[in-house]
Amino acid sequence: MTEALDWNAKNIAEFRANEGKVGGVFEGAPLVLLHHVGRKSGREYVSPTMYLPHDTEPDVIYVFATKGGAPTNPDWYRNLTAAGSGTVERGTETYDVSVHELTGSERDRVYAEQARRYPGFAEYARQTAGVRTIPVLELRRA
């Protein structure tokens, strides 16, 4: 197992064992497990990802395709946008979601709020400046 897959597997196991809570770099942060199907492989994958809850709509969350500030988008982003849907585990609940990519000022507003709450996201944006704009996806309970 690669280091990244091993790290994901540990976070997934901890998430499920502790009703959606994990320690380490994610301690205290809102975390979901994104279930997505590989657009080429057809295989199901699970990716732990921080999220931002919508201010007033409990059935909407936002996820950020930072890939830790890498110059390319993560596979989960490409898989979810290609499918237009996915599944999330949030706390002890699992449910289907529709996927909508935010653009323009709406994307910028949501990303800025996440960066305000978690400064690492501002650093990811600095690392990708001039290379790519980090996508923000709205996940709405289906």
Quick check: 141 pLDDT over 80? yes
Residues comprising the chain, all counted: 142
Half-sphere exposure of 63 (CA within 13 A, CB side): 28
pLDDT digits (tens, 9 = 90+) for 5-39: 688 899 999 999 999 999 988 899 999 999 999 99
Q: Report the chain's mean pLDDT, rounded to a whole number.
A: 95
CA distances from 141 to 57, 87, 97 (A): 10, 9, 4
Residue 1 pLDDT more than 70?
A: no
Q: Is 2 exposed, middle or buried (0-12, 13-18, 19+ CB in 10 A)?
A: exposed
Q: Are 30 and 57 spatial neighbours (Cβ–Cβ below 8 Å)?
A: no
pLDDT-based confidence at residue 65 (cuts at 50, 70, 90): very high
The CA distances from residue 60 to 57, 64, 133, in Å, are: 6, 14, 22
Going by pLDDT thresholds of 50, 70 and 90, the confidence category of residue 3 is confident
CA–CA separation, 118 and 49 (whole Å):
13
pLDDT for 5 = 66
Q: What is the three-class DSSP state of 131?
A: coil
Give the pair of three-digit tokens for residue 48. Answer: 């732990």
Helix (H) or strand (E) holding 121: helix 120-128
